[in-house]
Structure 1
Amino acid sequence: MFNLMRAVRAVLWSFIGLGGRRADADKRTAQLGILPLIGVGLCMVLVLIAGLMALAHFAAGT
């Protein structure tokens, strides 16, 4: 669970700049490995796209 939260923080930092200083982000990325970061990143992109589609559907009123 702790590694998942680390991966989420690292991906959020790379997406929108949340999560601390650059040196901390480099350390987190080195500790986690590339595959968990790619997996969390893809999941976050899919959630973002689904949210935007739901918002557009709601705004269109259909």
Structure 2
Amino acid sequence: MSNLMRAVRAVLWSFIGLGGRRADADRRTAQVGLLPLVGVALATVLLLIGGLLALAHFAAGT
């Protein structure tokens, strides 16, 4: 599995809180590295906020 996919998987698991045991989370973090995790997390948060804003804009009908 590529490093980017490992980072995406680790971030998504941490966002929904189903990461399993702490040792598993530490292992995933060690495999990927801190900088890619921070980048993927930032991009995911921005996409989530953008999606919520677009949904609110659509729901308001403007």
- For 1:61, the equivalent position in structure 2 comes to 61
Larger RCO of the pair (alpha carbons < 8 Å, separation 6+): 2
TM-score normalised per structure 2: 0.86
Aligned residues: 62
After superposition, what is the alpha-carbon deviation per residue over 1:2-36, rounded to whole angstroms, capped at 9, x for unaligned? 11110001101111124655433221101111100
Q: Secondary structure at the match of 1:46?
A: helix
TM-score by length of 1: 0.86
RMSD: 1.5
Shift of the 4–18 alpha-carbon distance from structure 1 to 2, 3 Å rule, reads farther
Distance in 2 (CA, whole Å) between partners of 1:5 and 1:51 is: 21
Structure 2: tracts of 5 or more residues without a match: none
Tell me the equivalent position of 1:10: 10
